[in-house]
């Protein structure tokens, strides 16, 4: 057990285990976006930092087929930030909030040596998509193209530049696909730690293994911060799911089936 899982195991609430906590039709989710941990200031503008922080958090709601309604912001800011910097940061938060119909209802601000952000998103759902409903024989698939985020991150660490529409900066969430496919999807989660690492969470929770039908390179499957969807569904619904994907212009790759085989994650832990 890695250190992250060990720490989480110290808490026993039945609401822990998905992208957010589902409580009576509400989903509560929270993620951190810290300078020099998740990003470096030279990589992004203040507006882009705020937008990415919001989208990373909204991804958890989307992954559970929930509609984000409210946000609480906690922002630790360096004293060297000017009023113009703060305004640009605020505009970034508000731009994404407006796009998703979110009301920013409060939070906290403190002085810090660097720019660290945590956001709580409160969402509603009539039909939550959980990680825990995978059965033997179900098909597993992922949306979009994986591997680009790792390549772009490597370029940034090597002092290179990436386009403002690159996947690392301009995250595209799969809200329409999840909503239109909700009757078909049995389980799902966002791919934030890499496909293989997130598969480890899903297979462990459901006490299943995997039989891969498609070979996936480790460099692709270990790419974190993709914010695509990992989904499970009854293979009898394959045609119907592909139609939903086509209708929403969502690339989808079916790559494995749930089985009794043991699954082993071949990626290093991202968080510790």
Residue pLDDT, tens place only, 210-265: 999 999 999 899 988 899 999 999 999 999 999 999 999 999 999 999 999 889 89
Task: State the DSSP H helix or E strand holding residue 31, giving kind and residue range, or none if neither.
Answer: strand 26-34
Antiparallel, parallel or unpaired: β 103-112 and 67-78: parallel
Could you tell me the two tokens for 210? 């995997």
pLDDT of residue 270: 66
Model confidence at 271, pLDDT cuts 50, 70, 90, reads low
pTM, rounded to two decimals: 0.91
Backbone angles phi, psi at 28, to 5 degrees: -110, 125
- CATH superfamily, domain 139-259, is PurM-like C-terminal domain (3.90.650.10)
The C-alpha atoms of residue 198 and residue 18 are separated, in whole angstroms, by 11
Asked whether residue 269 carries a pLDDT value surpassing 80, the answer given is: no
Contact, 44 vs 88, CB < 8 A? no
Give the tens place of pLDDT for each residue, 143-193. Answer: 999 988 888 888 888 888 887 778 888 889 999 999 999 999 999 999 989
**What's the CATH fold of domain 19-124?**
60s Ribosomal Protein L30; Chain: A; (3.30.1330)
Residue extents of the structural domains in the chain: 19-124, 139-259
- Exposed / middle / buried, residue 148 (Cβ in 10 Å: 0-12, 13-18, 19+): middle
The C-alpha atoms of residue 26 and residue 123 are separated, in whole angstroms, by 6
The C-alpha atoms of residue 264 and residue 138 are separated, in whole angstroms, by 18
pLDDT of residue 169: 81
């Amino acid at each position: 057990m890695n250190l992250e899982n060990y720490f989480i195991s110290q808490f026993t609430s039945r609401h822990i285990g998905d992208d957010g906590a589902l409580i009576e039709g509400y989903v509560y989710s929270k993620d951190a976006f810290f300078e020099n941990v998740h990003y470096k200031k030279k990589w992004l503008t203040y507006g882009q930092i705020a937008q990415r922080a919001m989208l990373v958090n909204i991804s958890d709601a989307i992954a559970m087929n929930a509609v984000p309604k409210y946000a609480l912001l906690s922002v630790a800011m360096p004293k060297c930030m000017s009023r113009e910097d703060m305004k640009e940061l605020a505009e970034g938060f508000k731009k994404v909030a407006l796009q998703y119909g979110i009301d920013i209802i409060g939070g906290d601000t403190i002085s810090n040596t660097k720019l660290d952000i945590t956001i709580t998103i409160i969402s509603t759902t009539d039909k939550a998509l959980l990680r825990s409903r995978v059965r033997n024989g179900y098909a597993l698939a992922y949306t979009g193209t994986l591997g680009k985020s790792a390549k772009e991150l490597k370029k940034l660490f090597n002092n290179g530049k990436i386009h403002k529409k690159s996947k690392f900066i301009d995250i595209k969430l799969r809200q329409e696909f999840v909503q239109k496919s909700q009757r078909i999807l049995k389980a799902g989660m966002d791919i934030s730690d890499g496909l293989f690492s997130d598969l480890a969470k899903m297979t462990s929770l459901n006490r299943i293994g995997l039989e891969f039908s498609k070979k996936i390179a480790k460099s692709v499957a270990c790419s974190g911060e993709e914010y695509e969807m990992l989904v499970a569904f009854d293979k009898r619904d394959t045609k119907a799911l592909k139609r939903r994907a086509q209708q929403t212009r969502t690339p989808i790759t079916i790559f494995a089936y749930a089985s009794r085989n043991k699954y082993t994650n071949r990626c290093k832990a991202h968080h510790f």
